Amino acid sequence: MSSSTPYTVRWGILATGWIAETFTKDLLTNPASRDVHDVRHEVVAVSSSSSKDRAAEFIKKVDAPSSTKAYGSYHELVADPDVDIIYVATPHSHHFQNAMLALDAGKNVLCEKSLTVTAAQTRKLIETARSKNLFFMEAVWTRYFPLSIKVRELITSGAIGNVYRTIADLSVGRDAPEGKIDFPDTNRMVNADLAGGALLDLGIYALTWVFQSLYHTQPEVEKEAPNVIAAVNKYHTGADETTSIILQFPKHRSHGIALTSLRVASEPDNKDTAGASIRIQGGLGEIQVIGPAYRPHQLRIITKESDGKAEILDFVIPKDKERDWGHGMFWEADEAARCLRDGQKESKTLPWSESIVIMEVMDETLRQGGVTYPELISTDVFDPQSPLNTGKR
């Protein structure tokens, strides 16, 4: 293959919900619109767990090629020889069984976050990927933003000195009268049967900023998992409604504070009026990350020499003008494509070992908070015929 010919990856989309739609529409954008010329993406198949018609409707909705195959079961998708990699876009309650189904079938996998419900499940997925020599990656899309890359470069270059503290918050204000939260009890945000709660859905982003500023930037030989102190308020469904975590990295003299809640909002008006919900603080200054933790758009760099003026860096997420679309999930897809092209089984930006440590932090947080989930979604025993894989109740 000529070096000028982009490497093509053929995707299978497992699930047909909102996140699958957003990711797939990003896959279908022209890579040149984001100045990417070395890889490209094709959507070759989509599956619903129970309805071929639903998959067909999804294909039409995202304006995928007419040749895209529609399947009414996940088993059919993972058996498709034309699929190079499966994107798992189900709720995180289903991730372990769905990703195992794909890996067991010999497929590379990009799996949405939170990666699993337990650290044991994460370890099992990684062991399976390693034993089958497959690529496997947690889809923490924010890590692959040019903004995030710039933050890590600033930290490693010493721009704000040694980083000693990161404070990160992602919360949504859904407080309601009479102690309620403005989600039905069946909604995935609060339903324990779907591993609901603030931590696994929102808190992963707060932890992402703590980890990429305080853990990922540690030299490999000095990697240090944190001590964890957590405070958790539980909702009447059993899920966590407000969770606060202090992570201590003793050898590096650093602390991370990860905050998440369904009661209060990190951005009450969604206009950045509340200021930075992420502050990365070093001995010489700090980096403020502006915008929601999952999709920030600006950095403010303040040092002891700033003299009242912060350095401001804006980051615009590019759009494909022909499709009038661009959300920012394409960068993680580009990373997966390059890893497949280069024969890498894990991403250096989010290696397997780091996904495990993050899940261990969430495990410990939930343990301290007394939050438990049903055996069906917390087991680390793979069952191809699990209702999570078949859609049957």
Q: Which positions are annotated as active-site residues? A: 113
Q: How far is CA 108 from CA 8, 21, 129, 130, 305, in A?
A: 14, 20, 8, 11, 48
CA dihedral 191, 195, 201, 202 (to 10 degrees): 80
β-strand pairing of 285-290 with 227-234: unpaired
Residue 92, token pair as written in the block? 């995180």
Token look-up 């419900």 returns 117
**Nearest 5 degrees, angle CA 138-CA 330-CA 348?**
40
Q: How far is CA 218 from the centre of its chain?
A: 21
Q: How many CB atoms lie within 10 A of CB 227?
A: 13
What is the per-residue DSSP string for 368-385? HHT----HHHH--S--TT
SS3 146: helix
